[in-house]
Copies of this chain bind each other. A is one copy, B any other.
Amino acid sequence: MRYSRQNKILELISTYDIETQDMLLKLLKESDFEVTQATISRDIKELQLIKTLSPSGRYKYAVGNYSDKPVSERFLKIFRETITSYESAENLIVVKTLSGCGNAAAEAIDSMAISHVVGTIAGDNTFLLIVDSKSNVPKVLEIFNDIITMRLRNNDR
């Protein structure tokens, strides 16, 4: 699945100095992502990764800084496309995602910095979202609904 792979890519480039897409290809294989260089090229374009010069004078991939709107776009997209269901219990919200996408989705949430959300813990296809108090859970759920129904898109105006 695309998003969990891209999430792994982000993880890999922050861990290793990755000089080429082929190198990335091999590392992805080790994590059981069987893809081709072409797909990686497209992922890199979508993630807006850039080839920078590492201190050692060699090229390496890194996240670009050119992004304010685009990134949040991406996260909204991840949110909409990977979350399959959610329900609340006390001050927690249990969110189900496509398998392998728990982390990616949770990180998307984190990066949105939704108010009242204290933190997240992610598993493979589920993540737990901790709300500051039970009484604020409805507010958070409403934001979820807004995102899914794209109502948030209009806030860009």
Q: Which of A55-73 contact B (CB under 8 A)?
A: 59, 62, 64-66, 70
Chain B residue, CB-CB nearest to A69: B55
**In the complex, chain B residues whose CB is within 8 Å of the CB of A65:** 65
Bound: A64/B48 CA distance, A = 13
Inter-subunit contact A62/B66 (CB<8 Å): yes
Bound: A59/B64 CA distance, A = 13
Tell me how far the C-beta of A32 lies from the nearest C-beta in chain B, rounded to whole angstroms. Answer: 29
Inter-subunit contact A53/B48 (CB<8 Å): yes
Q: Does A112 contact B (CB under 8 A)?
A: no
Q: Does A36 contact B (CB under 8 A)?
A: no
**In the complex, chain B residues whose CB is within 8 Å of the CB of A70:** 53
Q: Does A45 contact B (CB under 8 A)?
A: yes
Tell me how far the C-beta of A25 lies from the nearest C-beta in chain B, rounded to whole angstroms. Answer: 19
- Since A45-B53, A62-B66, A65-B65 are in contact, a sample of 6 more A-B pairs with Cβ atoms closer than 8 Å, ordered by chain A residue number, is A45-B59, A48-B52, A50-B51, A50-B64, A53-B64, A53-B70
